[in-house]
Amino acid sequence: MAAGCAYNAGEKPLEIGTGMRALVVEDENAVASFIERGLQEAAFAVDVAGDGDAGLHLATTEYYDVIVLDLLLPQRDGFSVLRALREQGIATPVICLTARDALDDRVRGLNLGADDYLVKPFSFVELLARIRAVMRRGQTLADNPISVGDLTVDVVTRAVERSGQRIDLSAREYALLEYLARHAGEVVSRTMILERIWDMRHDPKTNVIDVHINRLRRKVDAGFDSPLIHTVRGCGYVLKAG
């Protein structure tokens, strides 16, 4: 980031709904792709690991809002990954996936610190509902709705209004706007946005952020007297009134 760019370097994990990041640890390519695609459509940034060792490495070196963990994995099984995470004090919510419906396996996983358990085959709608449920646990909504000038963002219903006018956004546009709203008045860099709204595979030089910022401006700022979304040249973007 260029000199003189003001932002909070020690960024805290964000409240549910804001730039959500998920790690999927699954060795079956078809299942992993199915989950990844569904979560991306729900505005998650998704990283995928195909074995237990890779999953544990990502889970201990990156921040995630939720981990979807298969139990039957090569290199290191899911039980071992889960045990290692909890022993290291990593409290990220974990939903275990398995083809085994044995009661002993479910009890073992929960005793090791799993937050939920889903048996294959499963409905993605149910998986998403369980993910949202475990992410809500312990979260507060004291700051809901978020207001920036005449803009309001309801993080529960995902309703966005400006001066009482409803603004319809895609899932990714909403995630980006909520992230900016959570950091209202702060400059957020392109790297910060990529890490929270997209995933680690995106090229830092991609124009995907510019495209979505332009779309947001057309929906949030067009037709109003004063813009809320501002570009700080060489630094990033900031959402602020006035």
| Of 203 and 97, the one with more pLDDT | 97
Q: What is the CA radius of gyration of the chain?
A: 19
Does residue 198 surpass a pLDDT of 90?
no
Determine which of 34-38, 41-45, 97-101, 215-219 has the lowest per-residue pLDDT on average: 97-101
Which residues, listed in sequence order, are joined to residue 116 by a DSSP beta bridge? 95
The predicted model gives 204-226 an average pLDDT of 87
Give me the pLDDT at residue 217, please.
94
Determine which of 9-23, 78-92, 189-203 has the lowest per-residue pLDDT on average: 9-23
Regarding pTM above 0.75, the answer is: no
Does residue 210 surpass a pLDDT of 50?
yes
Amino acid at residue number 22: A
Give me the pLDDT at residue 25, please.
97
Give me the pLDDT at residue 14, please.
38
Q: pLDDT confidence of 33, banded at 50, 70, 90?
A: very high
Does residue 240 surpass a pLDDT of 80?
yes
The predicted model gives 43-53 an average pLDDT of 92
pLDDT tens by residue, 152-186: 998 777 899 999 999 999 888 998 998 899 888 98
Domains of the chain with bracketed CATH: 21-136 (3.40.50.2300), 146-239 (1.10.10.10)
Which of these, 54, 101, 102, lies nearest to 81 by C-alpha position? 54
Which of the residue ranges 51-65, 128-142, 186-200 has the most confident prediction, judged by mean pLDDT? 51-65
The predicted model gives 204-223 an average pLDDT of 87
The predicted model gives 14-31 an average pLDDT of 77
Give me the pLDDT at residue 66, please.
93
Which residues, listed in sequence order, are joined to residue 70 by a DSSP beta bridge? 97
Return d(Cα 35, Cα 58) in angstroms, integer.
17
- How far is C-alpha 154 from the geometric centre of its chain's CA atoms? 17
Determine which of 99-113, 143-157, 179-193, 195-209 has the lowest per-residue pLDDT on average: 195-209
CB 40 within 8 A of CB 46: yes
